[in-house]
Amino acid sequence: MSAKRLATHELRLAWRDFLAMATAGRRERERTVLALAAAAFAALHLVAAAALPDRLAIAAMDADGLQLAVTALLAMPVALMVSQAMESTTRLFYSRSDLDLLLSSPMPPTRIFAVRLGGIALATGAVAMLIGGPAIDVLALRDGARWLAAWPALIALGVLATVAAVWLTFAMFRLFGARHTRVAAQIAAAVVGAAFVIGVQIAAIASMGNATRFQFLTSPAIRASLPASGSPFWLPAEAVTGDGASLLFLLAAAATAFAATVGLLGPRFSEIAAAAADASFHSGGRGRVRPFRAHSAASALRAKEWRLLARDPWLISQTLMQILYLAPPAYMLWNGFGGGAASVVVPVLVMAAGQLAGGLAWLAISGEDARDLVESAPVAAGAVLRAKAEAVLGAVGLATAPILLFLAISDGKAALAALAGIGAASLSATAIQLWFRSQAKRGNFRRRQTSSRLATVAEAFSSILWAAAAGLAAHGSPLAFATALLALAMLATVRRFAPATMAA
């Protein structure tokens, strides 16, 4: 197989994977999904038109101010691209079952590595272009065609982000070994993806007493600490705003970095792939022998769910970022911002708890790999589901307990409201997953939203309503009761639409 045929095969697989994720495996939905995607992309143009400054406002900005604004807007997508590329690279080594077949073919491993690396770079850049594309088009219409240079600039940044992610992943293989790199890379991917947003938000809180990131990034203190005009630091912003020389340099740097990465790391690709496959096969290891102790059925089921969650090889990257975004409100509590902290901490905490509970509930209920074994056990079906729900609530409680403790020290009333909201949001998310449960593999966790669109939307709105109710309760507003009733009414309505066998 030639490199061209392999690249075509990879593109075909990526397209099929996207359609399977978007349509839940139902081919009759493909046209509808593509039409909805086109409509959503068009709607993002309207959002960009409303959010971006007009031509006069852009013209009124000086060159340094424009560069700073563009650099600030680029920083977050670049961090997210590096995070996505790190996760994709890790999955390439640990979850792609066709590597053994490809590496045993006559094709050189370096060529296989180049094709796979190009696929990761393409997917990474595509996400950034889908998100940033509407803004680019609106700016080009308002301020001239020079902004269209942002399209190739985003491609170059996607390639550079992928190269950085690959070097980081290979460095982890050397430092931690194949057995521990999967976990280390997932943690690093989550931290890199959230670090910029969280770091800037904490810095804004510390210096200005609020969480306005853009105001902090464009403040005089930050502008004074950045490199002078003409520094390579500003090259991406110059390329995005239409400077031809900067754009050509950025494209050349991306192509050179890609070629150098393939040349230097390609020969080690088969070695690391083999080590990763061996680590995945022997990941269980032999644990410490423990004496047998009798447990109740409920206790054994809870322990089973917690053990499966702890052993899940991809759960870290899928949930850690949600937990990391609790850092800014936790910082507000730690530094004693008084009553103002409750307005931020309580809703964010409840929202994060609801989303986390939904993901864990999917793993425990729909992602049960030993379903036949559990159903054949001498335990009532209700007891099994209750134990699963208790395991989910216990995991959510463990993640949110430290922030609740700090909140209780500063504002007991807000802590009670947050505790009630966390419980309600977690129970609601678990109930929705129970009503719409469908048998699936735990490895399909990233595609869980495709099982039921109604369940996905209901879970999101449930978390939002409970977060609003908890925030209002923390402020003593009587509207909290009405919002909670609205959340319960929504749950009752959703239950009516659940499959009969599930809602029973």
Predicted confidence band of residue 448 (pLDDT cuts 50, 70, 90): low
Same domain, 332 and 464: yes
With a cut of 70, say whether residue 343 has pLDDT above it: no
Q: Is residue 34 part of a domain?
A: no
Same domain, 240 and 324: no
Predicted confidence band of residue 469 (pLDDT cuts 50, 70, 90): very high
| Among 194-208, 233-247, 443-457, the range of highest mean pLDDT | 233-247
Tally of domains in the chain? 2
What per-residue confidence (pLDDT) applies to 327? 67
**Mean pLDDT of all residues in 321-328:** 66
**What is the C-alpha end-to-end distance of the chain, expressed in Å?**
53
Q: Of 327 and 432, which is predicted with more confidence?
A: 432
406 within 8 A of 439, measured Cβ to Cβ = no
What per-residue confidence (pLDDT) applies to 338? 47
The single-letter DSSP state of residue 52 is S
With a cut of 70, say whether residue 326 has pLDDT above it: no
Q: Is residue 422 part of a domain?
A: yes
Distance CA 202, CA 179 (A): 34
Predicted confidence band of residue 263 (pLDDT cuts 50, 70, 90): very high
With a cut of 70, say whether residue 253 has pLDDT above it: yes
What per-residue confidence (pLDDT) applies to 458? 87
Burial 256-276 (b: 16+ CB within 10 A, else e): ebbeebbeebbebbbebbebb
Same domain, 223 and 361: no
What per-residue confidence (pLDDT) applies to 285? 47
Listing DSSP states for 457-493 in one string gives HHHHHHHHHHHHHHHHHHTT-THHHHHHHHHHHHHHH
Q: Is residue 11 part of a domain?
A: no
Q: Is residue 68 part of a domain?
A: yes
Predicted confidence band of residue 78 (pLDDT cuts 50, 70, 90): confident
Phi and psi, residue 107, nearest 5°: -70, 135
Single out the residue of 276, 99, 317 nearest to residue 179, CA to CA.
276
Same domain, 321 and 424: yes
Same domain, 367 and 260: no
Same domain, 363 and 262: no
Angle at 81 between CA 79 and CA 83, to 5 degrees: 70
Q: Which two tokens stand for residue 338?
A: 């008084």
Same domain, 121 and 264: yes
Q: Is residue 97 part of a domain?
A: yes
**Strand, coil or helix: 176:** helix
Cα dihedral 235→236→241→246 (10° resolution): 50
Distance CA 306, CA 314 (A): 15
With a cut of 60, say whether residue 28 has pLDDT above it: yes
309 within 8 A of 346, measured Cβ to Cβ = no
What per-residue confidence (pLDDT) applies to 271? 81
Radius of gyration over every alpha carbon of the chain, rounded to an integer in angstroms = 25
The one-letter amino acid code at 23 reads T
Distance CA 82, CA 166 (A): 9
What per-residue confidence (pLDDT) applies to 187? 78
Phi and psi, residue 285, nearest 5°: 70, 180
Q: Domain boundary at 246, 281, 316, which?
A: 281
Distance CA 203, CA 328 (A): 9
Cβ-Cβ contacts under 8 Å for 114 (sequence gap 6 or more): 3, 262, 266
Q: Is residue 32 part of a domain?
A: no
With a cut of 80, say whether residue 293 has pLDDT above it: no
Helix (H) or strand (E) holding 386: helix 381-410
Q: What's the domain range around 260?
A: 52-281
**Strand, coil or helix: 425:** helix
Same domain, 204 and 318: no
Is 467 exposed, middle or buried, given 0-12, 13-18 or 19+ CB atoms closer than 10 A? buried
Q: What is the pLDDT of residues 35-77, one digit of tens each?
A: 877 888 888 888 888 877 776 667 667 677 778 778 877 877 8
Q: Is residue 99 part of a domain?
A: yes
Report the Cα 1 to chain-centroid distance in Å.
35
- Do you know the residue count of the chain? 504
Distance CA 304, CA 441 (A): 17
The one-letter amino acid code at 303 reads A
Distance CA 351, CA 459 (A): 10
Cβ-Cβ contacts under 8 Å for 65 (sequence gap 6 or more): 218
Q: Is residue 29 part of a domain?
A: no
Q: What is the pLDDT of residues 353-388, one digit of tens each?
A: 888 888 888 878 776 666 777 767 777 777 788 888
Q: Domain boundary at 249, 281, 313, which?
A: 281
Same domain, 209 and 317: no
Alpha-helical segments (H) within 209-339: 213-217, 220-225, 235-240, 244-265, 269-281, 297-311, 315-324, 327-334
Q: Domain boundary at 227, 253, 281, which?
A: 281
Report the Cα 367 to chain-centroid distance in Å.
19
Predicted confidence band of residue 156 (pLDDT cuts 50, 70, 90): very high
What per-residue confidence (pLDDT) applies to 503? 46
**Mean pLDDT of all residues in 481-491:** 93
Q: What is the pLDDT of residues 178-218, one digit of tens each?
A: 777 877 887 787 777 767 666 666 655 555 555 455 566 66
Cβ-Cβ contacts under 8 Å for 435 (sequence gap 6 or more): 455, 494, 495, 498, 499, 502, 503
Distance CA 125, CA 433 (A): 33
Same domain, 164 and 312: no
Average pLDDT of the chain is: 78
Predicted confidence band of residue 420 (pLDDT cuts 50, 70, 90): very high
Same domain, 185 and 245: yes
With a cut of 50, say whether residue 101 has pLDDT above it: yes
Distance CA 320, CA 184 (A): 12
Q: Which two tokens stand for residue 434?
A: 């129970």
Residue with tokens 């061209």: 4
Cα dihedral 27→31→33→35 (10° resolution): 180
Q: What is the pLDDT of residues 126-148, one digit of tens each?
A: 877 887 888 888 888 888 888 89
What per-residue confidence (pLDDT) applies to 160? 93
Q: Of 164 and 127, which is predicted with more confidence?
A: 164
Same domain, 224 and 309: no
User: For 192, how many CA atoms within 13 A lie in the half-sphere containing its CB?
Assistant: 24
Distance CA 90, CA 98 (A): 15
The one-letter amino acid code at 148 reads L
